């Protein structure tokens, strides 16, 4: 589809360029030949006033009018040939340039459609998994003539877990859509306050996993939307908790690096393979080995949301990881105006 669209767009570019070039050539040819005829006629009339010219050259009017004809004809031919060669050169160059511009114009659209197709396929797959589990359990239960209350409670409990998964997935998708289309209300906010608020959200998860969370938060004023930045740090902390061993340690730091503030989350868990690092911010991406659904719940949306929040603040996220030793996620954010 995009190949044919590229050729059609190239043809449109080429047509526009060649129409302009041909019209310009016609105007140039017409103007040049007219000026050439006038110039040669003036020269012929001027020569008639010279004594040696009157004595050696006929001076009748027909001769004067025909005198520049041969020179004009030769000049017109040379000009026409040069203009034809010029237009052929423009045709070749503009064809290549038009194809390049067409590819460059359509490439973002192609990438966007491919990303949309992947997103739709991944979302459909993730939605289908809990729905299939619920349907299977319910069908098995309905085949029984009498369903014991204990089995019924177990079925309802299992279905409730699947509903919670669907709710988490829909919440993640909604947050992605909101981050894509909403305008953030930015103001000066403290990295210490952001980190403390994010930790408060995850106190229960930290306690359940017996994680030791160490905080070293310097108060640096960054420019952004406080609630969104708390969401970002909470995502990174939740990610660190999921992939840390029970009883492990997590460090949360903030401070100043150059002309940017930073918030850093470091865990000492499974780590990430080098080949997986470029993809961990893709929607629904989950590495097959060290980070899979058998070891940690989730749908691979958290880091994608985190990156969108960082980019919406004109910031970035850096990742350093060693398999078996842990990972460090560092968020870099612009300073508040009064802090620069």
Per-residue pLDDT tens over the stretch 39-68: 767 766 665 565 655 555 454 444 444 545
What integer pLDDT is reported at residue 292 of this predicted model?
A: 44
What integer pLDDT is reported at residue 293 of this predicted model?
A: 44
Output DSSP code: residue 301.
-
> What average pLDDT does range 202-206 have in this prediction?
87
Report domain 187-339's class. alpha beta
Domain with CATH 3.30.565.10 in the chain: 187-339
Question: Is the full-model pTM beyond 0.85?
Answer: no
Domain with CATH 1.10.287 in the chain: 120-181
Strands 316-322 vs 249-257: parallel, antiparallel or unpaired: unpaired
Topology classification of domain 120-181: Helix Hairpins (1.10.287)
User: For the residues of 103-120, what is the DSSP string, one character each?
Assistant: HHHHHHHHHHHHHHHHHH
Q: 87-96, 151-160, 187-196, 290-299: which has the minimum mean pLDDT? A: 290-299
> What average pLDDT does range 230-235 have in this prediction?
91
What integer pLDDT is reported at residue 264 of this predicted model?
A: 95
Angle between helices 149-181 and 302-312 (to 10 degrees): 20
Per-residue pLDDT tens over the stretch 239-267: 899 888 888 899 999 999 888 999 999 99
């Amino acid at each position: 589809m995009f190949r044919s669209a590229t050729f059609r767009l190239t043809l449109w570019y080429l047509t526009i360029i060649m129409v302009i070039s041909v019209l310009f050539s016609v105007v140039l040819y017409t103007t040049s030949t007219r000026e050439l005829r006038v110039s040669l006629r003036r020269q012929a009339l001027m020569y008639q006033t010279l004594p040696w010219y009157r004595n050696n050259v006929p001076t009748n009017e027909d001769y004067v009018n025909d005198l520049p004809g041969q020179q004009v004809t030769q000049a017109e031919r040379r000009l026409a040939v040069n203009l034809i060669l010029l237009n052929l050169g423009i045709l070749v160059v503009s064809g290549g340039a038009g194809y390049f511009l067409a590819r460059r114009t359509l490439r973002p659209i192609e990438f966007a459609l491919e990303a949309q197709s992947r997103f739709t396929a991944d979302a459909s797959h993730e939605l289908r998994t809990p729905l299939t589990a619920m349907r299977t359990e319910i069908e098995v239960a309905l085949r029984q003539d009498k369903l014991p209350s204990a089995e019924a409670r177990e079925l309802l409990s299992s279905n409730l877990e699947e509903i919670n998964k669907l709710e988490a997935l829909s919440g993640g998708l909604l947050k992605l859509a909101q981050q894509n289309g909403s305008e953030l209300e930015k103001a000066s906010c403290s990295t210490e306050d952001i980190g403390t608020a994010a930790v408060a959200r995850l106190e229960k998860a930290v306690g359940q996993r017996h994680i030791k969370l160490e905080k070293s938060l310097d108060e640096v004023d960054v420019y952004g939307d406080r609630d969104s930045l708390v969401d970002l740090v909470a995502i990174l902390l939740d990610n660190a908790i999921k992939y840390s061993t029970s009883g492990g340690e997590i460090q949360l730091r903030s401070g100043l690096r150059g002309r940017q503030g930073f918030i850093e989350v470091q865990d000492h868990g499974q780590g990430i393979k080098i080949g997986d690092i470029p993809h961990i911010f893709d929607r629904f991406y989950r590495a097959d080995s060290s980070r899979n659904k058998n070891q940690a719940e989730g749908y691979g949306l958290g880091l994608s949301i985190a990156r969108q929040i960082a980019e919406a603040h004109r910031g970035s996220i850096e990742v350093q990881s060693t398999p078996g030793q842990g990972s460090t996620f560092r968020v870099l954010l612009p300073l508040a105006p009064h802090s620069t």
